Amino acid sequence: MADPDLADAIRLVIVGSSCALELATYLGAPAVFTRTPVPGDAGYPMATISLNTNPANEDGINDFRPLLSYSIMVHGSNQSIPATQYRTASEIAYCLRTLFHRQRNLTLSGWGIVNQRCVGPVDQPSTGQITTRALTLNVRIAQLASS
């Protein structure tokens, strides 16, 4: 059984939250992307959500309990005027941590959410004038096996 993908659900929670207010817009919506590379004309600050980065299972005999891990990265450009998006990226990242850590805001049809833990944000090495703050969202889900 393939693990379900929560990237789109994570994106919807971010886009519908106050954390998205400081993000740039892309095609009329907050700049939150579930795939990389992002479009070349996307503005900063933006957020990216990875695929499940560390597939793991804690299954029992009669149940399935995947542990899903997603990297949520917040990127800012220090080519902005004034060059303060590094602060904005940090503020957004801390907002996202609060949004997801020990909350019940994700849903997945056919599965129960057992817990959500968000770790970070952690500074990432800068690439040129791009600053990045990384979070790891761990979501444990459960489903009873059919007999």
User: C-alpha distances in angstroms, 129 versus 47, 52, 76, 81, 117?
Assistant: 16, 28, 8, 12, 30
pLDDT at 101: 94
pLDDT at 53: 79
pLDDT at 5: 86
**One-letter identity of residue 20:** A
Please count the residues of the chain. Answer: 147
pLDDT at 131: 84
Give exposure, 39-68, as e/b (b: 16+ Cβ within 10 Å): eeebebbbbbbbebeeeeeeeeeeebbbbb
pLDDT at 147: 52
Low-confidence stretches of the chain (pLDDT beneath 50) = none
pLDDT at 1: 58
CA geometry: angle 6, 8, 14, nearest 5 deg: 100
